[in-house]
Amino acid sequence: MNLVCDLSKGKCKPCEGGVPPLSDDEAAKLLATLDGWQRQGTLITKTYTFKNYYETIAFVNATAWISHREDHHPDLAVAWGQCTVSYTTHAIGGLSENDFICAAKIDALLTL
């Protein structure tokens, strides 16, 4: 099983601060397992495109369900035919494994 599958099957752990964010090397290794995600400072982000508004909103709703279930919520920028998803762990001021777990779960939506 590859690391992307492992991440998508992972479970977010509560993060209330007091732990350091991932190092640049740790973040880079996890980012390399994801398709199309980019690091922008303390965020990882990806823009998904769809053929219509309905598919975009269906994706937003599925993302909201995953976010609720994992208790780890992204910023979403929604427009006609696209949604940009951005993850960071606010409690620690940077990236945690939770961000990468959720990113992998969001990617897995499109393989169902």
For residue 29, how far is the Cα from the chain centroid?
A: 15
Q: 7-29, pLDDT tens digit by residue?
A: 766 666 767 667 899 999 999 99
Which domains, and CATH codes, for the chain? 28-109 (3.30.1360.20)
Backbone φ and ψ for 14, nearest 5 degrees, come out as: -55, 140
Report the predicted TM-score, pTM, of the whole model to 2 decimal places: 0.88
Q: 20-64, pLDDT tens digit by residue?
A: 999 999 999 999 999 999 999 999 999 999 999 999 999 999 999
Question: Of 36, 39, 29, which Cα lies nearest the Cα of 7?
Answer: 29
Distance CA 56, CA 15 (A): 29
- Check residue 18 and give its pLDDT: 77
